[in-house]
């Protein structure tokens, strides 16, 4: 396990001479789904790995203890015992990577994960005026502290898009630095909201600003933008992670969120990480997928792997 | 108006056995020809399977035929008298052999040959994407691609970074079974090819090159690892020669101008790519690279709508697009020339002896001044090149003798050195002439027409003096020449190219570039009109040229140089050398910096021109000794004149920056 990214001094020269060619990025992104596929037992293994990387998420206006409880129990038992047993994985303690909720539901998660006998599953809270961030800095920072106090071990913040679109990278950096401080021991994922940044160059620069400011993870989107986690955007972000690692030696994680629904997608995302960053980025401490429905599709695929038949969705415990 | 050519002998290589054969047969059949195809010795089965599918689809018997055999059989096919055109894709060496075998036979020939295509990466490029572009360019298909980007040029400030990124990329490059789609690279076609690649790399090592390979990534068998070679320069064999394997050489450069010089410092001209986010830079460099296809921020994209083919020793003719269809048709008025077996000694062709003084047949033209009659001044015409009148290098003249046997003037006897000088001056004038706005070239040509008309009677008189034809016929010839100048003047800015409808999200732009320096040998019929018919289309499309006027009746052309001087034609654009047509043709055709040779003389000369052109794979246009009616618009100013005056470049420009808000 490598050292946590402490961040570095702001250096404006990192934002000079950045060029990204979208057509070429798209061309490369398209190859990942076809040129790096896995089948059979390897696919099953990859899917199980993907399960452990999921931040099982609910971010709705009508979240209450009832559905949050269901989510937490599912997080603790994401794949049916019979399937795990058939794959000889029933004793591995397979859980998702984290559960992800709004600040007001953090305490509930802590309670229900304990009840499900898996208090070790981290609770991640969105914060800082999620999803838009269009609220005063003071309350944004206060949200973080309150969520951490309630038991959140991870905080997903949103960056200031106004600063980003203005090209005020110093402004983005300074705010994220403050947010990192407010997180304390909690790990910080920085949501770039790439669908609102307008260009690939801005995505690259936003990635850099966040990593310089001490992000543990950089995250594509809130899931609420028009365009969320797509491969071309991801390619630009992971190339930034690679550059940051080569320059500073610090490894920053990557989290795509929003729009990832199929098991095949999960494998493609794992291929991206393996190709661009290497095997270390294929585990929960450096890779998470923000998703909800994805888990059910993965389970259906695993069911098929074990039984040779397709299960109906209603035959799988819902989350 | 065009019609089909006849029987196409198609010879295709092993690197894309199915795709490349469809590039030949599709346009051939679409234009109404029949095909006999010889697939490469290594890869025969896909052609045979396709033939079965064609039969199943209902293609009538005999329309598409496949005959398998060795290289020697390919030669037999090319030489067969019933084959009307040879279409070849393969190595430059074999292409040259085919040119020599078919020389003088009247067959059309298209050659798509080798390459050493540059990949030019500027500091304003998306480097990570350029790395993936290099993967597409040189490691796709194990580098066994004619347009492989095998010569990477990286701008100095980002050189280290780019090389390091490439090396890192190779650490997760997958080499293995060709049928496993998760592999990046498969096996080399054959052990002999693998050995050839290995020899190149081993030799480079001996010369002190740095060779980077991840050998462990390669399974045992007929595989060769992706290879990156640095610490080499323009003098290295691995930089100059086509390796046809997964071997990339890397060279640094400082400025865009230098990048162009290094890119074009090769006998080849098939493809190239430019990597930068700077639009004006990208377009200027794309235009400057002398190759048939230039890709911007991508490499090795192909589409049936965009013709693919070479400049320089990468060949001539295009596969794809409307430009590719020209290879499979003839002008409707033209019969397939059948000169038969032209017997001649290629070694002694063009040998000439200077003429002795002609004191017995001197023209006794006289003039009367103030009632006194006296001989008029003898006229010895000089040659004309570099915008000035020049004496021939060797101090000999040639008499111009009319049908009555009288001498009507003298012209210089050109030799190899005059050819050398003229070619140099034509090259010096070429960039400026090509860069001029088309409209400006039109103005000059219209000006020539004006100035020719002013001297209409005088010039008609000279034609009559030389040829003995009726004066009114000669006047008609002058009038047709003026008309022709107007016709071609109007084409200065109406044949620039077009937009190709490929599957690219972006623009695929076809540009009609000048061919370069063209050597021309004019026919004896129509001494003025023949000359104008050849020089005018070439000059309006931005070429420069060395023209040998009619050997027997050169004076009309020499009248024209006064017209050129008074029409603002820059020096060096049109250069006129007089003397023995075949002697001058020989040296023009053998000159490796002449890009095309047009010859309207004898069947023997046509054979020589085609044979000798093989040396630097220059384009040729010969008449096989057959006459054409220069007064007829189809024959004297048809589209084929434009086709011969341009070479086609396709530039691929992907677009896109918007992905969400």
Residues 177-236 of A with CB under 8 A from B: 194-200, 225-227, 230, 232-233
Using a CB-CB cut-off of 8 Å, the residues of chain A touching B657 are: 22, 199-200
Burial of A39 (C-beta count, 10 Å sphere; 0-12/13-18/19+): exposed
CB A131 within 8 A of CB A166: no
Q: Is A49 on the interface with B (CB under 8 A)?
A: no
Using a CB-CB cut-off of 8 Å, the residues of chain A touching B158 are: none
Give the relative orientation of helices B471-490 and B456-467 as an angle to the nearest 10 degrees.
120
Using a CB-CB cut-off of 8 Å, the residues of chain A touching B130 are: 24
CB B75 within 8 A of CB B101: yes
Instruction: Kindly report the length of chain B.
Output: 661
Q: Is B176 on the interface with A (CB under 8 A)?
A: no
* Structural domain of A301: 12-315
The Cα B400–Cα A169 span in angstroms is 82
Q: Is residue A174 part of a domain?
A: yes
- First and final CA of chain A: distance in angstroms? 31
What does the radius of gyration of chain A's CA atoms come to, in whole angstroms? 19
Q: Is residue A6 part of a domain?
A: no
Using a CB-CB cut-off of 8 Å, the residues of chain B touching A17 are: 123-124
What per-residue string of b and e applies to B327-337 under the rule 16 or more CB within 10 Å gives b?
Answer: bbbbeeeeeeb
- Phi and psi angles of residue B427, each rounded to the nearest 5 degrees, phi first: -70, -35
Count CA atoms within 13 Å of residue B116 on its CB side. Answer: 22
CB B118 within 8 A of CB B272: yes
How high is the pLDDT of residue B363? 67
CB A119 within 8 A of CB A106: no
Q: What is the DSSP letter of A266?
A: H
The Cα B392–Cα B418 span in angstroms is 6
How high is the pLDDT of residue A245? 97
Q: Is residue A25 part of a domain?
A: yes
The Cα B356–Cα A65 span in angstroms is 116
Residue A1, pLDDT > 70, answer no
How high is the pLDDT of residue A2? 65
Q: Is residue A2 part of a domain?
A: no
Residues 6+ apart with CB under 8 A from A221: A191, A192, A193, A194, A195, A227, A228, A229, A256, A257, A258
Q: What pLDDT digit, counting tens, does each position of A104-157 carry?
A: 999 999 999 999 999 999 999 999 999 999 999 999 999 999 999 999 999 999
Which chain A residue lies closest to B301 (C-alpha atoms)?
A27
Q: What is the domain count for chain A?
A: 1
The Cα B520–Cα A171 span in angstroms is 69
CB A283 within 8 A of CB A254: no
How high is the pLDDT of residue B352? 84
CB B35 within 8 A of CB B29: yes
pLDDT beneath 70, residues of chain B: 363
Assess whether B112 carries a catalytic annotation: yes
CB B169 within 8 A of CB B135: yes
Full 3-state SS string of B291-327:
CCEEEECCCCCCCCCCCECCCHHHEECCECHHHHHHH
Across the interface, whether the CB atoms of A24 and B657 are under 8 A apart is answered: no
The Cα B157–Cα B305 span in angstroms is 38
Q: Is A17 on the interface with B (CB under 8 A)?
A: yes
How high is the pLDDT of residue B216? 79
Across the interface, whether the CB atoms of A194 and B660 are under 8 A apart is answered: yes
Residue A273 sits in a domain whose CATH number is 3.20.20.70
Q: Is residue A130 part of a domain?
A: yes
CB A266 within 8 A of CB A27: no
Strand, helix or coil for residue B408: strand
Across the interface, whether the CB atoms of A199 and B657 are under 8 A apart is answered: yes
The Cα B116–Cα B234 span in angstroms is 12
What per-residue string of b and e applies to B496-509 under the rule 16 or more CB within 10 Å gives b?
Answer: ebeebebebebebb
Residues 6+ apart with CB under 8 A from A304: A310, A311
Using a CB-CB cut-off of 8 Å, the residues of chain B touching A226 are: 660-661
The Cα A55–Cα B284 span in angstroms is 49
**Catalytic position from the list B52, B56, B79, B112:** B112
Q: Is residue A7 part of a domain?
A: no
Q: What pLDDT digit, counting tens, does each position of A48-103 carry?
A: 999 999 999 999 999 999 999 999 999 999 999 999 999 999 999 999 999 999 99
The Cα B403–Cα B391 span in angstroms is 27
The Cα B109–Cα B103 span in angstroms is 10
Across the interface, whether the CB atoms of B660 and A226 are under 8 A apart is answered: yes
Q: Is residue A4 part of a domain?
A: no
Across the interface, whether the CB atoms of A226 and B661 are under 8 A apart is answered: yes
How high is the pLDDT of residue B2? 87
Question: Peptide bond before B6: cis, by omega within 30 degrees of 0?
Answer: no
- A/B interface, count of CB pairs below 8 Å: 74
Q: What is the dihedral of CA B185, B188, B193, B199, to 10 degrees?
A: 50
Q: Hey, how many other C-beta atoms are within 10 angstroms of the C-beta on A142?
A: 14
Which chain B residue lies closest to A200 (C-alpha atoms)?
B657
Among B271, B268, B266, B270, which residue's Cα sits nearest to residue B251?
B266
Q: Is B627 on the interface with A (CB under 8 A)?
A: no
Q: Is residue A196 part of a domain?
A: yes
CB B371 within 8 A of CB B380: no
The Cα B242–Cα B575 span in angstroms is 36
**Alpha-carbon distance values, B525 to A96, A277, B13, B530, B629 (Å):** 90, 73, 43, 7, 9
Question: What angle is formed at CA A203 by the lines to CA A200 and CA A205, rounded to 5 degrees?
Answer: 110
How high is the pLDDT of residue B282? 98
Q: To which H or E segment does residue B397 belong? A: strand B397-401
């Amino acid at each position: 396990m490598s050292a946590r990214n402490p961040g570095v001094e702001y250096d404006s020269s990192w934002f000079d001479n950045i060029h990204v060619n979208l057509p070429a990025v798209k061309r490369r992104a398209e190859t990942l789904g076809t040129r790096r596929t896995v089948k059979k037992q390897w696919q099953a293994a990859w899917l199980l790995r993907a399960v452990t990387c999921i931040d099982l998420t609910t971010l709705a206006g009508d979240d209450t203890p009832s559905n949050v409880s269901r989510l937490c129990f599912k997080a603790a038992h994401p794949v049916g015992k019979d399937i795990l047993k058939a794959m000889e994985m029933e004793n591995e303690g397979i859980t998702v990577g984290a559960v992800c909720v709004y600040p007001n539901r953090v305490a509930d998660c802590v309670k229900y994960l304990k009840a499900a006998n898996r208090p070790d599953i981290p609770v991640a809270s969105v914060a800082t005026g999620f999803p838009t961030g269009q609220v005063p800095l003071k309350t944004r920072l206060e949200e973080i502290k309150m969520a951490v106090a309630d038991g959140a071990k991870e905080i997903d913040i949103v960056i200031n898009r106004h600063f980003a679109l203005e090209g005020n990278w110093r402004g983005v950096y300074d705010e994220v630095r403050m947010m990192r401080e407010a997180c304390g021991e909690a790990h910080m994922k920085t949501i770039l909201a790439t669908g609102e940044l307008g260009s690939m160059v801005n995505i690259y620069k936003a990635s850099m600003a966040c990593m310089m400011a001490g992000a543990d993870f950089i995250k594509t989107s809130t899931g609420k933008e028009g365009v969320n986690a797509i491969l071309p955007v991801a390619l630009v972000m992971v190339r930034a992670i690679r550059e940051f690692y080569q320059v500073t030696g610090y490894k920053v994680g990557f989290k795509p969120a929003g729009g990832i629904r199929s098991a095949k997608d999960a494998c493609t995302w794992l291929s991206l990480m393996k190709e661009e960053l290497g095997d270390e980025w294929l585990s929960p401490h450096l890779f998470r997928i923000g998703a909800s429905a994805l888990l059910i599709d993965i389970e259906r695929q695993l069911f098929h792997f074990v039984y040779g038949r397709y299960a109906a969705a209603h035959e799988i415990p819902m989350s | 108006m065009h019609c089909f050519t006849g029987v196409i002998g198609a010879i295709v290589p092993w690197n894309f056995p199915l795709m490349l054969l469809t590039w030949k047969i599709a346009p051939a059949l679409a234009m109404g020809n029949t095909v006999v195809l010889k697939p490469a010795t290594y890869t025969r089965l896909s052609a045979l399977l396709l033939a079965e599918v064609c039969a199943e689809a209902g293609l009538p018997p005999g329309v598409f035929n496949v005959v398998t055999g060795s290289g020697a059989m390919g030669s037999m096919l090319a030489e067969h008298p019933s084959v009307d055109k040879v279409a070849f894709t393969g190595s430059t060496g074999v292409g040259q052999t085919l040119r020599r075998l078919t020389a003088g036979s009247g067959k059309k020939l298209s050659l798509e040959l080798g390459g050493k295509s540059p990949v030019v990466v500027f500091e304003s490029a998306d480097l990570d994407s350029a790395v993936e572009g290099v993967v597409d360019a040189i490691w796709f298909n194990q580098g066994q691609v004619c347009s492989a980007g095998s010569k990477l040029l990286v701008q100095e400030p980002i050189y280290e970074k780019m090389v390091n990124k490439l090396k890192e990329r190779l650490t997760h490059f997958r080499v293995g079974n060709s049928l496993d789609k998760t592999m990046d690279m498969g096996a080399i076609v054959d052990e002999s090819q693998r050995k050839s690649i290995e020899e190149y790399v081993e030799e480079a090592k001996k010369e002190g090159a740095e060779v980077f390979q991840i050998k462990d990534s390669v399974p045992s068998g007929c595989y060769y690892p992706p290879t990156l070679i640095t610490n080499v320069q323009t003098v290295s064999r691995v930089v100059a020669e086509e390796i046809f394997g997964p071997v990339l050489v890397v060279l640094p450069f400082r400025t865009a101008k230098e990048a162009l010089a290094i890119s074009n410092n090769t006998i080849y001209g098939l493809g190239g790519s430019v990597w930068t986010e700077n639009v004006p830079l990208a377009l200027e460099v794309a235009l400057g690279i002398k190759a048939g296809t230039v890709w911007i921020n991508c490499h090795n994209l192909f589409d049936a709508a965009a013709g693919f083919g070479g400049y320089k020793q990468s060949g001539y003719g295009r596969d794809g697009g409307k430009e590719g269809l020209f290879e499979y048709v003839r002008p409707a008025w033209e019969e397939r020339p059948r000169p038969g077996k032209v017997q001649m000694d290629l070694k002694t062709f063009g040998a000439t002896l200077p003429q002795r003084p002609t004191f017995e047949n001197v023209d006794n033209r006289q003039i009367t001044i103030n009632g006194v009659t006296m001989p008029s001044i003898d006229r010895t015409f000089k040659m004309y090149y570099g915008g000035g009148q020049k004496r021939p290098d060797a101090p000999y003249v040639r008499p111009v003798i009319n049908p009555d046997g009288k001498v009507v003037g003298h012209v210089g006897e050109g030799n190899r050195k005059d050819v050398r000088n003229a070619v140099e001056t034509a090259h010096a004038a070429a960039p400026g002439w090509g860069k001029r706005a088309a409209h400006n070239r039109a103005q000059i040509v219209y000006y020539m027409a004006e100035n020719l008309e002013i001297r209409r009677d005088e010039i008609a008189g000279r034609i009559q003096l030389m040829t003995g034809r009726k004066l009114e016929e000669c006047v008609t010839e002058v009038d047709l020449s003026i008309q022709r100048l107007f016709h071609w003047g109007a084409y200065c800015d109406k044949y620039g190219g077009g937009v190709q409808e490929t599957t690219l999200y972006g623009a695929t732009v076809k540009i009609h570039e000048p061919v370069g320096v063209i050597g021309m040998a004019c026919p004896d019929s129509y001494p003025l009109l023949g000359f104008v018919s050849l020089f005018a289309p070439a000059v309006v499309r931005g070429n420069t040229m060395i023209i040998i006027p009619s050997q027997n009746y050169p004076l009309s052309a020499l009248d024209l140089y006064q017209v050129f001087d008074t029409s603002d034609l820059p020096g060096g654009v049109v250069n006129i050398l007089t003397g023995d047509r075949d002697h001058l043709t020989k040296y023009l055709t053998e000159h490796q910096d002449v890009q095309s040779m047009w010859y309207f003389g004898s069947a023997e000369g046509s054979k020589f021109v085609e044979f000798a052109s093989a040396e630097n794979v220059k384009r040729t246009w010969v008449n096989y000794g057959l006459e054409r009616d220069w007064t007829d618009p189809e024959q004297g100013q048809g589209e084929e004149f434009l086709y011969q005056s341009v070479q086609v470049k396709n530039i691929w420009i992907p677009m896109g920056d918007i992905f969400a808000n």
